[in-house]
Chain A
């Protein structure tokens, strides 16, 4: 597995897209800091970028890589290697190289602008950790979609739809259901519904640090316990981890049964 991971990783590191991705974050980081000159405000803007763009890029990249390396995969399958290690290796290769681009691309400008001396360092590292989690989750999901669909167009379509659903549509449905059922106690429901979507979950995780004063404005014991103590942070982190593990298990399961 490690060998395949290494091959995929180096293959991607040398590829043009990784550089584009890396340069994109590098410019974004520099431009944000140049325009704002205020690390804490840049963190807020970055949050919007991270929770929207990272899933999108993770999904597209994952699907694209899977379909492109199909021949290589078939070649590998002919060798006496375990199936799970082939797919795991590829998966970690893609997710790892994307995470590396993200961390370096955003990290370099922030470090140069004196992040280490500012007290926003914790918010910023939380942002990077969440970004890494999102990359792993969405690359995993896109691999599962690609492996279940032979047809490339279909695979792409489902992947983009998945992103659209989780990034926008889910929140719309969520909001509608909250308004329709506003007569009922909704605090447990709203927290659970947040947990069921990794994008919402990462958003809440970052909000816990940025907008805690607004989140505490609502009178509900469950909210108060969730947002007012460390419980919210721990639970969100745990669920986010679960979200990372689930697609990986799904991928292993699919890879085992698939007929090439």
Chain B
């Protein structure tokens, strides 16, 4: 009994504390013609856990330091104009929320990575509904964790790689959710370096100079349901482990070194249910091991999969390869990867026992792809009768292509 009353009393104190805090928390209104006309000044005066309502208008401010837990909300998208002088928001406190601001004109620098919003060593932040334009770096998270970047719109006008920044950059951060953002026209749309346990969902990254999404030395990350379109390369995953990539769409990444997905030194990853459509190279794989490619659709790519070298124990299962100029390209005679139960649109075998699996194995590597690897100009002979004859004879008796590289159970019907 006694413990119970004690417990109740404790609860009451708790509730009271929370209540007083909410009552104590003040709401500041910032507008160009009010008493508080600058965001920076109001933040200095505000106490922890206060709310700032920034009214519509233009605020010419930069290097705004948020060093206490605040909720800063824009009403009707107020413009914060940095006038190209430097960084605009810098968050150095836990529990900060930034919501609904329109930030423009971040200063471009060749010595400092100026960002529209930089979060430094903070936890539990929320950055949402922001619009960033004319930027250098967009949202830069530095040694931060447990935050959320949600529903922001980042539109850059990057022309050259050396004087442009990344849309969303995570550096030494962990446990962060990046959701429903739209990034376009930056250097790398989303860039992760030394960042673990990051979830990236439902973002659109397009027209970026380099990569739509870029991983460097980042492990145990998940990205799903994103769209990458018309970037230098859709997604570059490099030197990382245990990355899960699901339900993403990679479209129209065209050009001489353009890939839907570029894998370099990736181990133990899972790539499933993605769609690769009309890329010059669907997936470019180099030095990547133990990866499961399942249930992906490769449609109308130049090369669906190009394996450069040193790729072992990968499994390709249940994928649809539809109308690609080349299904698989290999540059060695060694093969340690398994191709099983895929659907290949150029498969010409038959199925006598009617079990849905072709009776003749399919060899996805054409001799022509070897020739093109060696002398790239020969690509002008694509689909010529002469090449078809040579490919056919190679298929009948493989000399140049790895003879165990085959799908022994090709599907007769496309996987729905």
Bound CA–CA A172/B381 (angstroms): 10
A182 and B302 within 8 A (CB) = no
Residues of B near A13 (CB, < 8 A) are none
| Residue B203 CB within 8 A of the other chain | no
B303 and A179 within 8 A (CB) = no
| Residue A123 CB within 8 A of the other chain | no
A203 and B254 within 8 A (CB) = no
Residues of B near A214 (CB, < 8 A) are 280, 301-303, 325-326, 379, 382
| Residue A175 CB within 8 A of the other chain | yes
How far, in Å, is B347 (CB) from chain A's closest CB? 13
Set B281, B371, B383: member contacting A211, Cβ < 8 A? B383
Q: B358-388 toward A: CB 8 Å interface, digit per residue (1/0)?
A: 0000000000000100111111111111111
B371 and A171 within 8 A (CB) = no
B302 and A204 within 8 A (CB) = no
| A190-242 interface (Cβ within 8 A of B) | 190-191, 194, 200, 203-204, 207, 211-220, 223-224
B375 and A171 within 8 A (CB) = no
How far, in Å, is B317 (CB) from chain A's closest CB? 24
B377 and A190 within 8 A (CB) = yes
Residues of A near B387 (CB, < 8 A) are 171, 175
Residues of A near B325 (CB, < 8 A) are 211, 213-214
Residues of A near B389 (CB, < 8 A) are 168
Given A48-B388, A219-B256, A224-B256, A211–B375 Cβ distance below 8 Å? no
A171 and B382 within 8 A (CB) = no
How far, in Å, is B399 (CB) from chain A's closest CB? 16
B256 and A179 within 8 A (CB) = no
| Residue A40 CB within 8 A of the other chain | yes
Bound CA–CA A161/B303 (angstroms): 35
B256 and A41 within 8 A (CB) = no
A203 and B384 within 8 A (CB) = yes
Residues of A near B384 (CB, < 8 A) are 171, 200, 203
A215 and B374 within 8 A (CB) = no
Q: A41-66 toward B: CB 8 Å interface, digit per residue (1/0)?
A: 10010011001100000000000000
Residues of B near A179 (CB, < 8 A) are 371, 374-375, 378
| B374-416 interface (Cβ within 8 A of A) | 374-389
Say whether chain A's binding surface is mostly helix, strand, loop, or mixed.
helix
Bound CA–CA A191/B378 (angstroms): 10
| Residue B239 CB within 8 A of the other chain | no
B378 and A215 within 8 A (CB) = no
Q: B277-302 toward A: CB 8 Å interface, digit per residue (1/0)?
A: 01111000000000000000000111
| Residue B345 CB within 8 A of the other chain | yes
The residue among A175, A179, A187 with the most chain B CB atoms within 10 A of its own CB is: A175
B386 and A217 within 8 A (CB) = no
| Residue B323 CB within 8 A of the other chain | yes
Residues of B near A168 (CB, < 8 A) are 385-386, 389
B256 and A171 within 8 A (CB) = no
| Residue A178 CB within 8 A of the other chain | yes
Q: A136-156 toward B: CB 8 Å interface, digit per residue (1/0)?
A: 000000000000000000000
The residue among A203, A214, A218 with the most chain B CB atoms within 10 A of its own CB is: A214
B302 and A216 within 8 A (CB) = yes
Residues of B near A31 (CB, < 8 A) are none
Set A174, A190, A213: member contacting B254, Cβ < 8 A? A213
Set A51, A203, A213, A224: member contacting B279, Cβ < 8 A? A213
Bound CA–CA A215/B326 (angstroms): 11
B371 and A175 within 8 A (CB) = yes
B381 and A175 within 8 A (CB) = yes
A218 and B379 within 8 A (CB) = yes
| Residue A186 CB within 8 A of the other chain | yes
Set A169, A174, A213: member contacting B278, Cβ < 8 A? A213
B385 and A52 within 8 A (CB) = yes
The residue among A44, A204, A213 with the most chain B CB atoms within 10 A of its own CB is: A213
A194 and B280 within 8 A (CB) = no
| Residue B34 CB within 8 A of the other chain | no
Bound CA–CA A143/B95 (angstroms): 85
| Residue A88 CB within 8 A of the other chain | no
| B243-287 interface (Cβ within 8 A of A) | 254-258, 278-281
B385 and A213 within 8 A (CB) = no
| Residue A248 CB within 8 A of the other chain | no
B323 and A218 within 8 A (CB) = no
Given A44-B323, A171-B386, A224-B256, A217–B280 Cβ distance below 8 Å? yes
| Residue A167 CB within 8 A of the other chain | yes
Bound CA–CA A119/B375 (angstroms): 34
A51 and B257 within 8 A (CB) = no
How far, in Å, is B35 (CB) from chain A's closest CB? 58
B386 and A172 within 8 A (CB) = yes
Bound CA–CA A40/B278 (angstroms): 14
Residues of A near B301 (CB, < 8 A) are 213-214
Given A174-B381, A191-B380, A203-B383, A213–B280 Cβ distance below 8 Å? yes
Set B254, B279, B345, B385: member contacting A171, Cβ < 8 A? B385
Ordered by A's residue number, 19 sampled pairs between the chains whose C-beta atoms are within 8 Å are A40-B323, A178-B375, A179-B371, A187-B377, A191-B380, A200-B381, A203-B384, A213-B278, A213-B301, A213-B302, A214-B301, A216-B254, A217-B256, A217-B302, A218-B256, A218-B377, A218-B379, A220-B377, A223-B377
A residues contacting B by CB (< 8 A) are 40-41, 44, 47-48, 51-52, 167-169, 171-172, 174-175, 178-179, 182, 186-187, 189-191, 194, 200, 203-204, 207, 211-220, 223-224
Besides the contacts A213-B254, A214-B302, what 11 more A-B pairs have beta carbons closer than 8 Å? A178-B378, A179-B371, A186-B377, A213-B278, A214-B280, A214-B301, A216-B254, A217-B280, A217-B281, A218-B376, A219-B376
The 3 A-B pairs of least Cβ separation, nearest first, read A214-B302, A214-B325, A171-B386
